[in-house]
Structure 1
């Protein structure tokens, strides 16, 4: 292994002479404000090395953690000589990222959770300078379609941190489940957190599996998840999807629906016609929901979804049409924008920023709204030109639930093939934006929807190694070359092996990663592009 197998790629790496061995005499030296990072580094190094690595005020042979005012936010500098290691950061996050790189300079066995007695623990002499390209480097995980237990979510947070990702966007609610405890509305989890069965496969005609599925995070769970992520300098961004994708909430409280009739938590995938009514009482209900969400999540950004809201029920409902007239709105599209605006104003009043999918661009938004561009890059261009900040997450490059090849044994093949090379080519900044508009792009994220991903093992298969490629696209500055990335990734996969990540092999799925007999819904690229073009017709720049 060489130092050049670091993922994501640092800005500069200069190899020196010799190495610094870790042994019983090695100490960690850190100022008080960096002690939490030092404790994390101890926890990362101790299991495999068996070394105590105690904290010290000073030491001759040490890993020294320092803050440096000449470095920017999240940037770091790592210098290793035969006499010691210094990790300097522009802030504690930068020091933490430098410590992640330090781990990658050691043999991959350092990631094992028990003592390894046949490895020489030594860091090669090296000088590394590194700074992130983007401030938003994220992943969206859908825990509504298939719930991810807390233990596995914490493991995923560690994997995000390993790859210098700093944002975890949690899609907490949808038609198929409500995953966060709201104490003033207990039925949201008593009723809405489980469904009696699930659609098995991606084809609309697929049958159901007959197996109940559910789960939710208590408020104590959420506090733990948020704190665990924060200790790894990851912000957890919550999303409560409104006014569509809400059948689980309607199942819990039927009065939230247009008809007021009882509904079940949906066992089927796809866009659901059952949406919220827009009564003032419903707006007030969700203000209460978002108040508890904002109490739980300190994130500056609060997700409201706003995507794929069918208007059929509103068009034929007399009460909804009366509300449109009373509010002097032009129609159902403006009604959706009105609803979102009420929530957005409430979020802004709490000092937070509304964050939602690019469907929001079909209406007027609060000025500080952040738009996630998922239907290609049209939303990113439109939002930036309208003065909104942008997170780029185009489906054709970063939707990790899409099939990974044309091979017939890809598990439940959905949509277009999105290969490792495709993911590596991701650039969050649309080429046709000017410099000022490009500055509106906060960064990007991978999105992982879980209709067909029913276990953490399956999440591993779909996320990795494509997430490694996307992490590099979001972190690394300068030109990127997939041919240069591939050999570094091959070394990096040994680290994922040590961690037990069940990633997709270059040759395709292992036998137990296939899903024979379960229908998918593959698409050709031209067919899919035409479909997406149709979806963005209402938000194209003028």
Structure 2
């Protein structure tokens, strides 16, 4: 979130950073709220909790000159005097990072978290596994990483073009890697919610251990899209799933553990649509023994989700309302508002343009669309099929993630946001962020080797209505 005046009245021009800086807790404030007073005599920061102090400190950092954000920079720095009274609109201000389609080294994940926290986002949903790669070691299951974490080639661009780069790609996180990520995030008041997608999106695991599947013996998937190869429901496979979730519970203190549940074909189950709800219920029962709850995509609503499951509502705006109607807590992340892999303009230089057009203004206009205490907040999703590096993630995420962070902190207006965005981009420059320029893509941003597949919004809305027909009955 970019700092903006909230009940602010400027009383002077500058304050030098060598003045006094007092921090204190004030239980009368909202837990994540703060009051930042800056006067010629010093700075006073009151927070409703330690998170409030942290968010007030981020605002103070953003009020300083951009040069203050550079490593090795030396003050003193001047900041405007005044008072800011602020607190977030939503409890869940999240961003999902897909490290399954393209592995991201630990250092890049830490940098991603630091940037998210700088914008006052407080949840990292870490998508750790998919058909194209398994990214977490699990004790007793070594082939998940020796086999499942590597693919022989990667698809270039949209799958309609059937182009491949012919280069192996892979990587995985050790338990110590993940503990480092969790600790780094916690120091910045970010909760890491892990996700191991099951029972679909499991081809990488089945490639490593064919006994988990339904007769498939083959490689980790190299193309994008949805694999038809899903888990079987034998006792041994269910024990495998419990072992994976048990390991996640040992590493991640998050009260929610993601099990995905999305886009799960039923052909290998003889078309039986009741298999998945039964599977989800069993995993929920196991997680309850560890004091945790299921976090799943909105497909798990079909057939009845476990009562305490939290839903990530992604298939357009309707599933958020469906989850609330079913009595579930929900995180709104409709693809037509929050999928940052979607193209940013119609400029032919946009790299691998896929999905519907999602401009800065479109993202800023995000709203869950439902007024209910069951709506925890919102989440932007970064799927990395077409983002092979942290630099490419930067380009697709920023400054749209700035807009999203403000939408879930809110409220303000897009016009007000745009007046503050230009100076904020100088902060992103200082932090080394490869954001997309407001003037449009540069020639070197293009990816002619990885062509896309642009979609129109009317076509996508029609498709989403068909996809969610099971929730509309």
Fold-level similarity (TM above 0.5): yes
The residue correspondences of 1:39-188 to structure 2 (distance < 5 A) are: 61-115=19-73, 121-188=77-144
Does residue 497 of the first structure (1) align with residue 429 of the second (2)?
A: yes
1:303 aligned partner: 258
Aligned to 2:234: 279
Report the equivalent of 1:318.
none
Q: Does structure 1 retain, via aligned residues, the 8 Å contact 2:159–2:225?
A: no
Runs of 5+ unmatched residues, structure 1:
1-5, 27-60, 316-330
1:507/1:18 Cα in 2 relative to 1: closer, same or farther (>3 Å)?
closer
Instruction: Provide TM-score, normalisation by structure 2.
Output: 0.98
Kindly name which structure, 1 or 2, has the bigger radius of gyration based on alpha carbons.
Answer: 1
**Partner of 1:376 in structure 2?**
316
| CA distance in 1: counterparts of 2:15 and 2:4, whole angstroms | 22
Deviations 1:227-284 (A, max 9, x none): 000000000000000011000100111100011x422111010011111111121111
Cα contact 2:95–2:123 (8 A) shared by 1: yes
Q: How far off is 1:500 after superposition?
A: 0.8
1:446 to 380, 385, 404: 380
Please name the residue that 1:240 is paired with. 196
- The answer to whether the Cα contact below 8 Å between 1:89 and 1:95 also exists between their aligned partners in 2 is yes
Does residue 513 of structure 1 match 2:469? no
For 2:159 and 2:194, the matched residues in 1 are separated by: 29
C-alpha contact 1:246 1:276 (8 A) present in aligned 2: yes
Q: Once the 2 structures are TM-superposed, how far is the Cα of residue 173 of structure 1 from its aligned partner? A: 0.3
Indicate if the aligned counterparts of 2:364 and 2:414 stay in contact, CA closer than 8 A. yes
- The answer to whether the 8 A contact 2:161-2:451 is kept is no
Contact between 1:8 and 1:471, CA under 8 Å: does it hold in 2?
no
> Which whole-Å CA distance do the structure 2 matches of 1:93 and 1:413 have between them?
38
- CA deviation vs aligned residue, 1:54-80 (integer Å, no higher than 9, x gap): xxxxxxx42111111111111111001
Match of 2:307 in 1: 367
Cα distance in 2 for partners of 1:520, 1:239 equals: 27
CA distance in 1, matches of 2:334, 2:3: 21
Rounded Cα–Cα distance in structure 1 between residues aligned with 2:3 and 2:397: 16
- CA distance in structure 1 between the partners assigned to 2:148 and 2:9 by the alignment: 55
How many residues are paired up?
Answer: 473
CA distance in 2, matches of 1:100, 1:374: 30
Give the 3-state SS of the residue equivalent to 1:487 in structure 2.
helix
Give the equivalent residue in structure 2 for 1:196: 152
Residue 45 of structure 1 corresponds to none
Where does residue 166 of structure 2 map in the other structure? 210
Which residue of the partner structure matches residue 393 of structure 2? 459
In the alignment, the residues of structure 2 paired with residue 11 and residue 352 of structure 1 have an alpha-carbon distance, to the nearest angstrom, of 37
Shift of 1:168: 0.2
Q: CA deviation at 1:206?
A: 2.1
Preserved contact between residue 159 and residue 223 of structure 2 (Cα < 8 Å): no
Instruction: Give yes or no for contact 2:156–2:449 (8 Å, CA) kept in 1.
Output: no
For 1:498 and 1:244, the matched residues in 2 are separated by: 42
TM-score (norm 1): 0.85
Comparing 6-15 and 398-407, the one that deviates more: 6-15
Question: Could you tell me how far 1:120 is from its partner in structure 2?
Answer: 5.5
Q: Helix, strand or coil: the match of 1:333?
A: coil
Return the alpha-carbon distance in structure 1 between the equivalents of residues 71 and 442 of structure 2.
Answer: 25
Which structure 2 residues correspond to residues 282-293 of structure 1 after superposition, within 5 A? 282-293=237-248
Classify the secondary structure of the residue corresponding to 1:406.
coil
Following TM superposition, by how much is the alpha carbon of 1:204 offset from its aligned partner in structure 2, in angstroms? 2.4
Contact 1:305 1:356 in 2 (8 A): yes
